[in-house]
Amino acid sequence: MVTLKEGDKAPAFSGMDQNGNKISLSAYKGKKVVLYFYPEDDTPTCTIQACNLRDNYGLLRKNGFEVIGVSPDDSQKHKKFEAKFDLPFTLIADTNHAILEKYGVWDQKQMFGHKYMGVLRTTFVIAEKGIIRKIFLRPKNKAHAEEIIAAYK
């Protein structure tokens, strides 16, 4: 369950991206960060969300945003997802769920009457000083970039 609130300090993290590089939130100090958590690469809804962010990446960057996606998939799967859909942003592999748990997005879910642990699709917009400016608990996947920009104004 997401317990972080708008106005909270964003939890520090580091992880490996799709290219095997270590990525830390601290490296983005002074920048606005769209940190989006999603369940799995190359699934229908996750692909819609990623492609919306890709298609609007120039607009997001023009408005000063850096984009980082996080899922429990490994770096190899992220690399294939990046290549297949020409994604221009960082994807962090969180196979041990450390970042997911810090942000409260690794939780019990239910589908077709079965309970299981999984990712709660959530986006955090982090301001330049590391403070959470906006949380999207139910992002509009087909218009996610647009809602991020609108909410930040």
74-85, pLDDT tens digit by residue?
Answer: 999 999 999 999
Q: How many domains does the chain have?
A: 1
**Is 147 within a domain?**
no
Is residue 8 in some structural domain? no
Establish if 54 belongs to a structural domain: yes
On whether residue 146 sits in a domain, the answer given is no
Q: Quick check: is 29 in a domain?
A: yes
Tokens 């996080």, residue located: 70
Q: Is 46 a catalytic residue?
A: yes
Provide the terminal-to-terminal Cα distance of the chain, rounded to the nearest Å: 27
Q: How confident is the model over 5-56, as pLDDT tens digits?
A: 999 999 999 999 999 999 999 999 999 999 999 999 999 999 999 999 999 9
Q: Is residue 49 part of a domain?
A: yes
Residue numbers of the domain that contains 117: 14-141
Indicate which residue of 34, 46, 100, 125 is catalytic.
46
1 falls within a domain: no
